[in-house]
């Protein structure tokens, strides 16, 4: 799977993914009104507004980008209707030729992780038939339970040609409470990085592994260290833009070949129309504002590579 993503990154010259992580407050009023008129102020109405919002952004950006990332929590908050919108968005992105990263941060004991891996990446057997649940291409995984919790995902990567991004050094302010703790003289995130490389060795796809790492743009010195430690590991890089990470901060996430990382931006793109920089587009043309935000992000990142 990682080789397919790399080909799309090379084709678009855009090492980025758009985070389709919508809050209802991001959706312009005219879109919300239309959905509420059709379904009422209900979970179904909210989920339809999210879906319509996503579709517009995808339509305006899909030719510019290789991938999207969907944070499942933003859909789960609307219950089953929200998950239907999540599934519809995944399918629509696939129709547009995009790689879909499911941001679900799953990870549990072995049998539970196996069920998560089946539901998000693989196929479930129902009698004589096999069905794909959410069917994303890549999934974020929490490694806190160790190999027992990660190996089932790696197994599905190998059987179904899928990919992972394992949390290593995250972009949030309190990440250091655990991740920076020293164990035998080394921070925990380095120990996790070592395990990610071990897991990844069992799922190589060309020069890079299908088992990638989440490495935040907000800690550039740590990303520099991790890049040296993990030369064959692809990085999913959150924290750019709205969280404070700059293009200069994240350049250390890339290898000398200009590959090795894909940078996510969520509200900086999907809610671009709310920013002063893009206010000329207005809520009615929020998709065009998102398109311009993608163009600006790509230019910004490529300027330091």
User: Would you state the pLDDT for residue 218?
Assistant: 85
Catalytic position from the list 69, 105, 162, 169: 105
* Nearest in space to 261 (alpha carbons), one of 15, 18, 68: 15
Rounded Cα distance, 168 and 196, in Å: 8
Apex CA 265: angle with CA 276 and CA 90, to 5°? 120
For residue 279, indicate whether it is catalytic.
no
Strand partners, 103: 71
What does the pLDDT look like over 16-47, one tens digit per residue? 999 999 999 999 999 999 999 999 999 999 99
What average pLDDT does range 220-230 have in this prediction?
94
What average pLDDT does range 95-106 have in this prediction?
98
Alpha-carbon distance values, 190 to 140, 168, 230, 240 (Å): 18, 8, 10, 22
Could you list the residue range(s) of the whole structural domain that residue 273 is in? 1-303
pLDDT band at residue 242 under the 50/70/90 scheme: low
User: Would you state the pLDDT for residue 219?
Assistant: 87
Domain harbouring 247, CATH code = 3.20.20.70
Residue 126 buriedness (CB in 10 A; 0-12 / 13-18 / 19+): exposed
Q: What mean pLDDT is reported for the chain?
A: 96
Q: Name residues whose C-beta falls within 8 Å of residue 293's C-beta, 6 or more positions apart in sequence.
A: 265, 268, 269, 272, 275, 278
- Tally of domains in the chain: 1
């Amino acid at each position: 799977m990682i080789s397919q993503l790399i080909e799309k990154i090379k084709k678009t010259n855009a090492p980025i993914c758009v985070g389709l992580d919508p809050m209802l407050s991001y959706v312009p009023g005219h879109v919300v009104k239309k959905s509420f008129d059709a379904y009422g102020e209900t979970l179904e109405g909210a989920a339809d507004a999210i879906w319509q919002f996503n579709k517009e952004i995808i339509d305006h950006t899909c030719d510019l980008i290789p991938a999207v990332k969907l944070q499942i929590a933003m859909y789960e908050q609307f219950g089953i209707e929200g998950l239907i919108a999540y599934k519809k968005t995944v399918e629509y992105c696939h129709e547009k030729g995009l790689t879909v990263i499911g941001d679900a941060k799953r990870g549990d004991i072995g049998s539970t992780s196996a069920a998560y891996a089946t539901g998000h990446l693989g196929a479930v057997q129902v009698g004589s038939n096999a069905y794909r649940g959410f069917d994303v291409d890549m999934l974020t995984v929490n490694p806190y339970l160790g190999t027992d919790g990660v190996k089932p995902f790696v197994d599905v990567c190998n059987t179904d040609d899928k990919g992972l991004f394992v949390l290593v050094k995250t972009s949030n302010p309190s990440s250091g409470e655990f991740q920076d703790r020293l164990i035998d003289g080394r921070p925990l995130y380095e120990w996790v990085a070592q395990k990610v490389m071990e897991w990844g060795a069992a799922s190589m796809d060309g020069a890079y592994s299908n088992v990638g790492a989440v490495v935040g743009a907000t800690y550039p010195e740590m990303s520099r260290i991790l890049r040296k430690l993990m030369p064959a590991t692809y990085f999913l890089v959150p924290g750019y833009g709205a969280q404070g990470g700059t293009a200069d901060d994240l350049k250390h996430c890339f290898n000398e070949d200009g590959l090795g990382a894909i940078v996510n931006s969520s509200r900086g793109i999907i809610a671009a129309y709310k920013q002063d920089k893009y206010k000329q587009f207005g809520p009615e043309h929020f998709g065009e504002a998102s398109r311009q935000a993608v163009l600006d992000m790509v230019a910004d990142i490529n300027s330091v590579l």
